[in-house]
Structure 1
Amino acid sequence: MNKDLLKSIGTVIAGILITVIFSNGTDFVLEWLGVFPAIGQAEFDAWMFILAIIYRTIYSATAGYLVAALAPNRPMRHVIILGIIGTIAATLGVLASISKGFVVWYPIVLAVLAFPSVWVGGKMNVTAKQSLTPEEVT
């Protein structure tokens, strides 16, 4: 394997880890603070799902931004791969929710937003790089 391929794989894995660690970490902190109930102990209100959608979307966009920044070449290709992986993972979450009889609209919204949020983050990075003058880059 060449060096760029390994860096590309590592870049996409970093994007996955950023999304998973920050999303689950925020869930844990909000549960610990008593903002969210413990899983299975109480019903979640709609505002809790909306809050989770907001911060998960921000984390996905952040992951897209960082993946574009870390990519050894073709940053948007890396971002698209991350978006596809995120969409597949979120779709599996929808299927798991349906099979367990949980609220279905929340994972559907996450699945729908997975790709666009990552793409927007990546595009923000690429656009920011293009707007820099050569003196600002160095």
Structure 2
Amino acid sequence: MTRSIVAVATGFFLIALLSFGTDFAIRAAMPALFDGEGRTTSVTVLVLTIGYVGLYATIGCYLAARLAPREPMRHALVLGVLGLLFNLIGTWFAWSTAPLWYHAVSLALVMVWAWTGGRMRVQELDALTHSTAAV
């Protein structure tokens, strides 16, 4: 049980660290694209944000699955559900910082990223099993 908690928590903190760090870097590098409250209407920035958060979420969910003692997909999906809950709360509080389409797409993709990270680990394990069996 402890290894499972550590696996999911490690993935969660990796995603948060990378996402918030990249957010900070983008705001520092391009402050003119954001107003005083952090709002932006730049479609480029919003799509870029969806992209890097998706990449980080996939990596974090893969890491959770990789560190899991068993059932890697379950660990990735648990992290996805946790991420979805935090994203729902974040969306509630940051509703006015981005257009509706951004919030909708971001929420819709959370479990896709989680499944993708978990699937990467499952495929990796399958490949290891098949290569070992062939020897």
Shift of 1:109: 1.4
TM-superposition CA deviations, 1:35-65 (whole Å, max 9, x none): 7536526643111100000000011111111
Structure 2 length as normaliser, TM-score? 0.85
Q: How many equivalent pairs are there?
A: 130
> Could you tell me which residue of structure 2 aligns to residue 28 of structure 1?
24
Q: Aligned in 2, Cα 1:53/1:117: closer, same or farther, shift over 3 Å? A: same
Three-state SS of the structure 1 residue aligned to 2:30 is: coil
Residue 72 of structure 2 corresponds to which residue in structure 1? Answer: 75
Which of 53, 57, 61 is equivalent to 2:50?
Answer: 53
Which consecutive residues of structure 2, in runs of 5 or more, have no partner in the other structure? none
* CA shift digits 1:64-117 (9 cap, x unpaired): 11111100111111111101111111122232234x575332222111111111
Do the aligned residues in 1 keep the contact of 2:76 with 2:118 (CA within 8 Å)? yes
Compare the two structures and name the one with the higher helix fraction.
2
Cross-structure match for 2:132: 134
Q: CA RMSD in A?
A: 2.1
- Deviant stretches of 4+, over 4 Å: none
List alignment gaps of at least 5 residues for structure 1.
none
Structure 1 position 92 matched with structure 2 position 89? yes
> TM-score, with normalisation over the residues of structure 1?
0.83
Aligned residue among 9, 16, 20 for 2:12 = 16
Residue number in structure 1 paired with 2:100: 104
